[in-house]
Structure 1
Amino acid sequence: MKRVRITLQPTGDYAPPIYDLLAGGANYLEAVRIVNWNVATPPTAFLLRIRGDYRRFERVLEDSEDVRDYEVLPLSERECHCFFEGEVSAAARSLFENFTRGGLLTVPPIECNDDGSNTFTIVGSDADIQAAVEGVPAGVDVTVEAVGGDGVAPERALDRLAPRQREAIETALEIGYYDAPRRATIEDVARDLECATATAAEHLQKGESAVIAALFDG
């Protein structure tokens, strides 16, 4: 058995509008994980764990023509489980089905990153994993983040970070943004990342939120 952690960057028909919201397209959502899913037969169903202004996302589900049914199960004022089912494109369905070939297993949750990507672990034989990675459509970027390890799911807080979030936090640490007293500003972080100040601030905020949440999980 092999364990591989990968990141996918779906675009176009591989990234339905609701997915775009979940993966960085809605600044009112702080963190989103796909806890479970069923793409075997239409309609496609998903169970999410959401942190942020989930009531605002609930209104999106209510207004969406592609959503057949949904339910929001609050866990706190800022966190909930959310179930919904509806229609997705054939392309998006094929992307999920690619990781069910042979004896391959996808280990929940799928982490929706704020750069539009998602990260998850797959477990199976070398042949099945290689076939799945090679079977990712040309319109979807795929990155192998890690191979092997002691567990099948991310156990470290750092493993919850999207690549850009981790880069932002590592940069901030290096230049003294987290020192006391602080030796660098958010503008300094943005300059080193070569991005807008607001973008750097968003990467740090969501990354910090993911790390804190990981520390208190369970």
Structure 2
Amino acid sequence: MGLVAEFDIGCEALPLVTVAAAVPESTLLLELQFNHGERPVFLATVTGGSGGAVERALTDAADVREWTLVGRAGDTRRYQALPAFSLEEQLGRHLDDLADLEALATTDAIIERIEVTPDGWRQTGWFADRDTFETLASFWQRNVDFRLRRLTRDGDPESPGEGLTDPQREALRTAYELGYFEIPRRTSLESVADELDISASSASERLRRAQSYLIEETVATTWPSLPD
């Protein structure tokens, strides 16, 4: 049975990252058309934000030679952009071995979603097996910042608690600002709960779940285990 993975690739040299950084209020999804030789055409779907701001960012982007607005529907716009550089020219200074990057294209994997963020790409993909996924993960780990967000078997529901939820993030921030984590503590769990307008038991659970996630992210060194 295959795997489904969601992960972040932190590399500001990736295509269209400067565009995403210029319009952080927008969601930018990218498709690469590799049937155009060394310079795959960028197909960008942008939702939200100002169309004018997006188009100024495309015009200013060093990695975009020219772009065309293909169509729009509501606040979603579709663009086709011709790259100014080959992937080798764009990424060569940031990767140890471009041949390994090219080899990834022949692995038993399908990347179905690329979201461009202000500091890299967030990808979701399907992988034939664990070895296929680890080939991709180890390549990016050797070269840039890589963060695994989710890894499940295909057909399984998404594991709960992946990443910090907004309530957990708020609970951590509130507890920190009130001095709950200081030694000695400057406030009580009850005070944190009052600030969040929830019960003390709910506040405790949110903080424990958030802390468990952060410990796994910063201390654990192995990939998440998968059920047999």
Instruction: State the TM-score bracket (shorter-chain normalisation).
Output: 0.5 to 0.7
Q: Secondary structure at the match of 1:49?
A: strand
Q: CA deviation at 1:183?
A: 5.4
Aligned partner (choices 38, 41, 45) of residue 41 of structure 2: 45
Q: How does 1:1-218 map to 2 (within 5 A)?
A: 1-11=1-11, 14-16=13-15, 18-22=16-20, 25-27=21-23, 29-34=25-30, 36-39=31-34, 41-51=37-47, 52-64=49-61, 66-72=63-69, 73-76=71-74, 78-86=75-83, 87-90=85-88, 92=91, 94=98, 97=102, 99-106=104-111, 108-113=112-117, 116-136=120-140, 138-144=142-148, 145-150=150-155, 163=163, 166-172=164-170
- Matched residue type, 1:33: L
CA distance, structure 2, for counterparts of residue 97 and residue 149 of structure 1: 25
CA distance, structure 1, for counterparts of residue 64 and residue 40 of structure 2: 9
Q: Do the aligned partners of residues 137 and 129 (structure 1) sit closer, same or farther apart at CA in structure 2, a change above 3 Å counting?
A: same
Q: CA deviation at 1:149?
A: 4.0
Q: CA deviation at 1:50?
A: 0.8
Count residues with an aligned counterpart. Answer: 166
8 A Cα contact 2:114 2:121, kept in partner: no
Root mean square deviation of aligned Cα: 3.8
8 A Cα contact 1:8 1:140, kept in partner: no
**Between the two proteins, what is the percent identity of the paired residues?**
14
Q: Secondary structure at the match of 1:150?
A: coil
Q: CA deviation at 1:85?
A: 1.9
Residues 79-129 of structure 1, C-alpha deviations (whole Å, 9 max, x = no match):
2112212124416384864542333221x2212345544131232233322
8 A Cα contact 1:7 1:119, kept in partner: yes
- Matched residue type, 2:32: W
User: Which segments of 5 or more consecutive residues in structure 1 lack a partner in the other structure?
Assistant: 176-181, 186-218
Task: Give the TM-score taking structure 2 as reference length.
Answer: 0.56
Residue in 2 that maps onto 1:193: none
User: Which segments of 5 or more consecutive residues in structure 2 lack a partner in the other structure?
Assistant: 93-97, 175-193, 198-228
User: Who wins on radius of gyration, i.e. which is larger?
Assistant: 2
CA distance, structure 2, for counterparts of residue 169 and residue 81 of structure 1: 34
Q: CA deviation at 1:31?
A: 1.3
CA distance, structure 2, for counterparts of residue 57 and residue 65 of structure 1: 14
8 A Cα contact 2:38 2:87, kept in partner: no
Ranges of 4+ aligned residues in structure 1 off by more than 6 Å = none
